[in-house]
Structures are given as structure tokens and as C-alpha cells.
Chain A
Amino acid sequence: MSTATEHTEHTDGHEAEHHGLSDMQYIKIALILAALTAIEVSTYYVDFGPFFMPTLFILMIIKFVIVASYFMHLKFDNKMFSYLFYSGLLLAIAVYCGFLATFKFFIQKG
């Protein structure tokens, strides 16, 4: 749902500032993501002991950041997009962790 009133000369400008990765690189990143997912799922079959939760959390964050940085181009785009998006995300994490903390959510879990 968008229109831009740019003329063709502007589209040329866009072309010049086109950034991102090549298709081959995207596929490699997808393979990394697939591998990380495989490790995640393996926690269901293999006992990771005390490393269970940390492993899952770290993998989740890595996957999130990879998709946001490369597929969503945050790494290459204007930094303002990153600031806006991550401020929303961090605000959500902070507020809702505070919210769960008042329910003693984290204490129950030990």
C-alpha cells in the first residue's frame, strides 16, 4: 500500500544506493538459521542439563538478530530504523519483565 511520487530519475538514485547481500549469501544465512533451529529442536531429544535454558535463549536471540540484521536489512540501512525498532523491542522487554516480576514470575521458577 504505497506510492511514491518519485520520478524515474529518483529510482535511478535508489538503484545506486541499493545495498544488501547477494542471493547466494542469503541462502548461506538461511542455512545457518536452519542449523541453529536444528540445535534448538535437539534440546527436546537430548538432555542439556543446566545449559538447557541458556542455550535456548541464546539461540533465540541469535536467530532474531540475524533475521533482523540481514533479511530485514537493518545492518545496511539507515541506523534510525534500528534505533526505532530496537527501542520498541527493548521497551517491550523491560516493561513486560517488570510486569511479570510483580507477579513474582521469576521467583517461582527459581
Chain B
Amino acid sequence: MAETAISHGHDVGHGAHSSTGMSNNKLGMWMFLGSECLLFGGLISTYMLYKGRVNEGPQPDQIFDIPFTSVSSFILLMSSLTMVLAVSAAQRKDERNMNLWLVITALLGATFVGGQVYEFTAFYREGLGFTTSLFGSSFYTLTGFHGVHVSVGIIMLMALVGMNRNKRIPGDRAEVVELVGLYWHFVDVVWIIIFTLVYLIPS
């Protein structure tokens, strides 16, 4: 996806092909993220509405393991740091560090997803299934959607590393890394909200 239909005549100066001076790709990504706010907003609101409706199943504060989730939240937060370092390295055209930080970001993300899988199985053993109660359905849907977003991010990071190794990233590489970074940070800020609203504030 890219800017196209650009006149490459000699009269074209720097950035003359965009009326506002913004990159098409970044503008598109920011709009996508704005749209995602409404998606996660809907899921979070559904959870807020239903978190107290537990049927015979467990209450939220009975099963949440705050120390464990705090650690995994911290890991995701730190992956934002490594991501921004990767972007910064890409802008310096420092390929070695860029690859390094991308891999570390992906690993931190994978740790977070692994933690989520562990958490889900633990909850399931304690009696909270997807169909147990409204709390169960809405909790798994909300955190599951977030987990899928993290997983997609991991795939994008690994694809970046693989493509970079073969020198196959089309276009402006620093910008591609930055776009993936924007997505990654967004997924992180969504977790900042979920961590507070879902985990830290009891029902």
C-alpha cells in the first residue's frame, strides 16, 4: 500500500506529492488506530456492563492473579521501549540494532501472549469457561481480541526481520518499521487501559 500516481518529473520537489506534507501510510495507520479505539471501546464497555454477572461461576476478584498479570503487563510495557529503540535504529540506518530490537520486541510480546495463555488455562481450571457466565464470555472476548492483536503484531515484527534479512522491504524501510511500531504501541496502550479497568478495579 503506498503512495502512487506520483509524477516523477524533475519539477517534483521534496514532499510535493502530498498536499499536507504527511505520509500517506502514516496517515492511513493513524486512522486505522482511531477506528480501533471504537472497536476496543465496544468490547471494554460490554465487559464493564457484564463483569458483575457471574451466574454460579467465579467472581473477577476471586480468580484474578494480580501479581502475575502485573508482571506480564510490565513485560508488554517494556516491549514498547524496545520497539521505539528499533524505530530509532531504523531511522539511523543502523541495521544490526534494528534487527536486534525487533527480535527482542517480538520475544517480549510472545512472553506476554504465553502468559495470557497460561492465565486462561488457570482460570479455566478454576471454573471460568467461555460459556460459564456473562463475565466469562465478555472477559475472554475482550482479552482474547487483545491477544490476537499482539499475535498479529508479533507476526508483523518477525516478517520485518525476515524481509530485512533478504533486503526485501519495499519502499522506505524506516517508515515501514515506524508503522509497525505505531501498531505495536497502540496495542500496548490498549493494555494499559485494560489492565486498570479490568484487573485493578474490582467489580
A and B touch in the complex (CB under 8 A): yes
Residues of chain A touching chain B, judged by Cβ–Cβ distance below 8 Å, are: 1-7, 9-11, 13-15, 18, 20, 22-23, 26-27, 29-30, 33-34, 37, 40-41, 43-44, 53, 56-57, 59-60, 63-64, 67-68, 70-73, 77-78, 80-81, 84-85, 87-89, 91-93, 95-96, 99-100, 103, 105
A64 surroundings in chain B (CB, below 8 A): 189, 192-193
- For chain B, which range describes its interface: under 10, 10 to 19, 20 to 34, or 35 or more residues? 35 or more
- A to B CB contacts below 8 Å, 16 in the list: A2-B175, A4-B172, A20-B88, A26-B81, A33-B80, A60-B196, A64-B189, A68-B185, A71-B81, A71-B83, A71-B181, A72-B182, A89-B34, A89-B37, A93-B41, A95-B41
* A37 close to B66 (CB less than 8 A): no
Whose C-beta in chain A lies nearest to the C-beta of B159? A1
Alpha-carbon distance between A109 and B44 when the two chains are bound, in angstroms: 17
CB distance from B184 to the nearest CB of A (A): 9
Give complex CA distance A12, B13 in Å.
12
CA distance A33 to B36 in the complex (A): 23
Contact with A along B33-67 (1 / 0, CB 8 A): 11111101110110011000000000000000011
Beyond A4-B3, A100-B49, whether A37 also contacts B77 by CB under 8 A is yes
B interface residues (Cβ-Cβ under 8 A, vs A):
1-4, 6, 8, 14-15, 20-23, 25-27, 30-31, 33-38, 40-42, 44-45, 48-49, 66-67, 70, 73-74, 77-78, 80-81, 83-85, 87-88, 91, 170-172, 174-176, 178-179, 181-182, 185-186, 188-189, 192-193, 195-197, 200-201
